Copies of this chain bind each other. A is one copy, B any other.
Amino acid sequence: MDTEFIEQLVIKNDKKIIFLIMDGLGGLPQEGGTKTELETAATPNLDRLAAGGVCGLFDPVGYGITPGSGPAHFALFGYDPIKYNVGRGLLSAAGLGFPMKPGDLFMRANFATLDKSGLISDRRAGRLATEKNEALCKKLQDSIKLETAKEVFFCTEKEHRALVVLRGGNFSEQISETDPQKTGKPIIASQGLVPEADTTAAAVRELSEKVIKALSAEEQANCLLLRGFAQYKVFPSMTDRFGLRPLAIATYPMYKGIAQLVGMTVVEGLSTVEDEIVALKANYDKYDYFYIHIKATDSRGEDGNFAEKVKVIEKVDSLIPEIRALNPDVLVVTGDHSTPALMSGHSWHSLPALLSAKTCRPDGALNFGESSCLNGGLGRMPMKYLMGVALAHAGKLEKYGA
């Protein structure tokens, strides 16, 4: 069954679905321990939801696959993460709210340091300050004109990271990266990976050379490494596919960007988890699908900080009564992927998930944790099918066949 199959069965109704997503929720015990971050956290509210609902373990992309945030979220929203994979450039552009146009080519750029012999000595240019990045992007924007593209845009992301966009040319994303991925190596001249991409590779070479010229007076940030090439792409929206009126409640640009790609309305100006709950309540009547994104679980996991990740989970648990008070028809609590503090990064481990609704069959998961989800009635499932199960519990899918 492909993820498009359910589209023919969609019925619109007023039932409300909330997806509460703790980024990087799945974990591992610390060395010598026996409990994950979620199992260590005191989560009386989540435990109650798990006991009354149905639980399971979900694979974002596939067995053994460690997903980036893009594929993990696409799966969560019911989009096949292999079919809908996109280059990092497009996620950056969406996240920054860049006004995308058909034909645009997006790329992720790192300010980096070239030494006198033309080798990369620092791939992050000393993690330069965001303000410096902004000044350099302005300088590049004012000085660079390309012969191979009508327009070029330089947009600061954060620290050493930027977005570069080429517009006005017949571009392809099938080109090689300029980032050698190691220090002590020169910048790589981009090449077309298919014959039709040769002119795009030439544009990226021209861009790379002109950036080095324009930044020649800089000591640290004197070049850009270019990767994550992605063409403009239109995704079928969650409204068209599932009949939903979806709202994204997130604090970080990238997650707002991913939500925009699948057609969600995005609440702007949120900074804290408390802000997010306020936004949920304020918009509850106007939408019927709510994606609430909690970033800190992933950040503390990436930091390798087990104890702080536990605290974030406990904080989220304390907000559950406010969400339950809204009486949603379906409440799903899970993550997008695992980020065990033990590994200080994303991992391939399956994700614990709970679904609470009136039509849940009792199962063996009496609290919310990776081990108890092993006894959950959802079993082990590909993440891309979770949306269909949520729609079913909300009465939003009609019967298939006579």
Which residues of A pack against B, CB within 8 Å?
A: 1, 5-6, 9, 28-29, 31, 34-36, 57, 61-72, 81-82, 85-88, 91, 108, 228, 340, 342-343, 346-350, 358-359, 361-364, 370-371, 374-375, 377, 379-381, 385, 388-392, 397-402
Contacts and interface: CB of A to CB of B under 8 A. Distances in A.
A373 to B, nearest CB: 10
Contacts of A85: 400-401
Contacts of A228: 402
A81 B389 contact: no
A322 to B, nearest CB: 25
A64 B397 contact: yes
25 contacts: A5-B65, A6-B65, A61-B400, A63-B385, A64-B385, A64-B388, A64-B390, A64-B391, A66-B399, A67-B399, A68-B402, A70-B401, A81-B401, A86-B401, A86-B402, A87-B402, A343-B359, A349-B361, A350-B377, A361-B370, A363-B371, A364-B371, A374-B375, A374-B377, A374-B379
A168 to B, nearest CB: 25
A137 B138 CA distance: 81
A377 to B, nearest CB: 6
Contacts of A349: 359, 361
Contact of A67 (B66, B343, B391, B401): B401
Contacts of A86: 401-402
A63 to B, nearest CB: 4
A392 B359 contact: no
B392 A66 contact: yes
Given A9-B65, A63-B381, A68-B400, 17 more contacts: A1-B65, A6-B64, A6-B65, A28-B359, A62-B388, A64-B385, A64-B388, A64-B397, A65-B397, A70-B402, A85-B401, A108-B402, A342-B359, A362-B371, A364-B371, A374-B379, A379-B380
